[in-house]
């Protein structure tokens, strides 16, 4: 029997499962096998074995990267012996996927369009890399390219502008590094002080991963070791060496079972297994990074957080368990600021898994792991609330979810939060006077561990006298040395061409 006053359509998480297959274990499992195993574990976690799995009417999947299946959910359903009426899949790229999928699934349940739904995802990049290196065969299922899920979730708009692409900003590490230095400039921190800040943040995450049985790298690291380049921690793009970057080379899967309260009750799921989504919101920042008013803030996270917390009827101070998407240090700092959280509160760490460097960064699916971990914590702390954030592209696409073992006061409603416009003009092709807003020095990997990595170029974000933003990628030795040996953040400069910048003044931020 349902609790008095509970709507039978109330969405509830009743099972959570995670799997990690390490490099020293036999076999090379792919995304289908890992996702299916995570859901089998979710079934066992629910106390219903495979009964709910086989009865699912909807399967939603985060799109895999290691093998780009068009409909991962259909393959997983076949593995589980399920015959869902619908499948959903996220667009090919976006770590916001798990929270968007959960919001969509929970809304379908609240609307009476689904009774039992599965959410899953998995990555096997490490297995793929091993097979590529050794020539081992991968026994992964195939799927026709023209197959499609019943519904595709999210936006697959291209993430870069022409100006960004022309400056070599083709991957997350370069965008996040540029945003990190922009944040340092706004906070008024010198390089050493800022390294200590982000090293301490990442060290605290590694301590959490060391206690996480599903972490890919369950080992604590000292802050100084994380920010100091070495043969095993090479510089990639300042201020980021390898150990400050999400680790995508993992074999991991996670799965959730979400039911209506009526279906959970009918299946006999013990009440102490129930965890409810209280609020779920998504939002999008200005899509192109260099067209944002301030690269070091996220109005969308603030809006989605406010909406999700408002739906739950609580404030951030009432949230006990938190997981902020942690692909790079700037992402955590920006989210913490947007939500009103300190980054160094020992009573409320900002991750429950240890983050994407240490717990692992399984493509689009990380937040399914964080939600699965929250489910366990909230069962142990049934009067508490938990919050998870999800993030796609370059602090661009966002999801925020609030959860508790306490029943919600109202029926779940997915929210797309409104974000205030905060746009800055771009000035591709501009020449003339500027001020250095941010920069990152891009490094080329050395030919062998005993050889130092080489500074390949510096990408500079600069503001014109009218406040427009221009990117310059300079590779001449003199300019690169000025940014390697000094800290010209905030300095006046003159742009002569898309690859020519001359510093007019030097400013070292202390």
Full DSSP string of 3-68 = PTT--TT-EEEEEEEEEE--TTSSS---HHHHHHHHHHHHHHHHTSTTHHHHH-SEEEEPPPSSS-
pLDDT of 452: 57
Range(s) within the chain of domains with CATH label 2.40.50.840: 432-503
CATH topology for 432-503 is OB fold (Dihydrolipoamide Acetyltransferase, E2P) (2.40.50)
pLDDT tens for the 510 residues of the chain, in order: 788 889 999 999 999 999 999 999 999 999 999 999 999 999 999 999 999 999 999 999 999 999 999 999 999 999 999 999 999 999 999 999 999 999 999 999 999 999 999 999 999 999 999 999 999 999 999 999 889 999 999 999 999 999 999 999 988 999 999 999 999 999 999 999 999 999 999 999 999 999 999 999 999 999 999 999 998 999 999 999 999 999 999 999 999 999 999 999 999 999 999 999 999 999 999 999 999 999 999 999 999 999 999 999 999 999 999 999 999 999 999 999 999 999 999 999 999 999 999 999 999 999 999 999 999 999 999 999 999 999 999 999 999 999 999 999 999 999 999 999 999 999 999 999 999 999 999 998 765 544 457 899 999 999 999 999 999 999 999 999 999 999 999 999 999 999 999 999 765 543
Beta carbons within 8 Å of 195's beta carbon, 6+ residues apart: 227, 239
Beta carbons within 8 Å of 448's beta carbon, 6+ residues apart: none
Q: What's the CA gap between 196 and 205, in Å, rounded? A: 14
Max CA-CA distance within the chain?
Answer: 75
pTM beyond 0.75:
yes
pLDDT of 54: 97
Where does 11-158+248-416 sit in CATH, by number?
Answer: 3.40.47.10
Cβ–Cβ < 8 Å for 187, 510: no
Please report, for the chain, how many H helices and E strands are present, in that order: 15, 18
Q: Which residues pair with 416 in a beta bridge?
A: 282
Range(s) within the chain of domains with CATH label 3.40.47.10: 11-158+248-416
Beta carbons within 8 Å of 232's beta carbon, 6+ residues apart: 242, 449
């Amino acid at each position: 029997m349902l609790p008095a006053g509970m709507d039978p359509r109330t969405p509830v998480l009743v099972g959570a499962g995670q799997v990690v297959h390490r490099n020293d274990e036999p076999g090379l499992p792919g995304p289908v096998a890992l996702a299916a195993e995570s859901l089998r574990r979710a079934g066992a976690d629910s106390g219903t074995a495979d009964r709910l799995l086989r009865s699912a009417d909807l399967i939603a999947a985060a799109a895999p990267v290691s093998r780009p299946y068009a409909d991962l959910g259909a393959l997983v359903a076949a593995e589980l012996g399920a015959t869902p009426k619908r499948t959903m899949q996220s667009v090919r790229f976006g770590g916001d996927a798990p929270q968007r999928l959960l919001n969509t699934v929970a809304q379908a349940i609240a609307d009476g369009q689904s009774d039992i739904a599965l959410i899953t995802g998995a990555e096997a990049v490490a297995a793929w890399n091993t097979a590529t290196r050794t020539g081992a065969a991968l026994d992964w299922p195939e799927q026709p390219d023209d197959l499609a899920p019943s519904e595709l979730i999210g936006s697959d708009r291209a993430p870069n502008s022409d100006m960004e692409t022309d400056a070599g900003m083709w991957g997350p590490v370069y965008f996040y590094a540029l945003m990190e230095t922009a944040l340092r400039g706004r906070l008024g921190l010198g390089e050493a002080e800022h390294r200590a800040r982000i090293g301490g943040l990442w060290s605290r995450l590694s301590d959490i991963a060391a206690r996480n049985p599903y972490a890919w790298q369950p080992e604590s690291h000292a802050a100084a070791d994380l920010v100091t380049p070495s043969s095993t921690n090479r510089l990639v793009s300042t201020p980021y060496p390898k150990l400050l970057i999400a680790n995508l080379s993992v074999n991991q899967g996670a799965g959730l079972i979400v039911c209506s309260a009526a279906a959970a009750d009918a299946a006999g799921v013990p009440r102490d297994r129930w965890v409810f989504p209280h609020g779920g919101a998504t939002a999008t920042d200005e899509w192109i990074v260099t067209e944002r008013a301030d690269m070091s803030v996220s109005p969308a996270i603030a809006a989605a957080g406010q909406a999700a917390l408002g739906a739950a009827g609580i404030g951030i101070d009432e949230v006990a368990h938190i997981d902020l998407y942690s692909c790079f240090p700037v992402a955590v700092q920006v989210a913490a600021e947007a939500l009103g959280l300190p980054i160094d509160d020992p009573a409320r760490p900002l991750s429950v898994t240890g983050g994407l460097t240490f717990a692992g960064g399984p493509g689009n699916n990380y937040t399914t792991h964080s939600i699965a971990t929250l489910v366990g914590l909230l069962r142990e702390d049934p009067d508490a609330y938990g919050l998870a954030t999800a993030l796609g592209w370059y602090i661009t696409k966002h999801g925020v979810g609030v959860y508790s073992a306490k029943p919600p006061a109202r029926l779940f409603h997915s929210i797309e939060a409104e974000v205030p416009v905060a746009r800055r003009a771009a000035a591709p092709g501009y020449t003339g006077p500027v001020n250095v807003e941010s920069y990152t020095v891009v490094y080329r990997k050395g030919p062998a561990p005993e050889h130092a990595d080489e500074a390949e170029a510096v990408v500079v974000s600069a503001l014109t006298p009218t406040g427009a933003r221009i990117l310059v990628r300079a590779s001449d030795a003199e300019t690169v040395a000025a940014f390697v040996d000094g800290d010209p953040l905030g300095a006046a400069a003159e742009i002569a061409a898309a690859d020519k910048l001359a510093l007019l003044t030097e400013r070292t931020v202390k």
